[in-house]
Amino acid sequence: MGKVAAKMKVMPDSPELDLDDLQDKLEASLPEGAEIRTVDREEVAFGLVAMLPMVVVPDGSGGTEAVEEAFSQVEGIESVKVEEVGRL
């Protein structure tokens, strides 16, 4: 079975959140078999910074849904959106 890489956009609910702590929480929430390869950050507005993790998951049924669900359950996350998906 192959792997799929997905670039995601994770929006915090406040500009005051510690992004390093939030990144640790995202990594801890990952379902089995998924991993974060890189995390970029993008300034949005008014001090709010979006996190752009590149997540690698096994190529199977459900795709990135389990990761999206796990990320959305992390305290301090406003929204999770898949920006790009590709096979490795």
pTM: 0.90
**Per-domain boundaries in the chain:** 3-87
pLDDT at 60: 77
Q: What is the pLDDT of residues 24-61, one digit of tens each?
A: 999 999 999 999 999 999 999 889 999 999 999 998 76
Mean pLDDT of the chain: 94
Q: Which of 4, 9, 1 is nearest to 53 (CA)?
A: 9
- Which CATH class name applies to 3-87? alpha beta
* Phi (first) and psi of residue 58, to 5 degrees: -65, 145
Cβ within 8 Å of residue 12, ≥6 positions away? 19, 22, 48, 49, 50, 51, 76, 77, 78
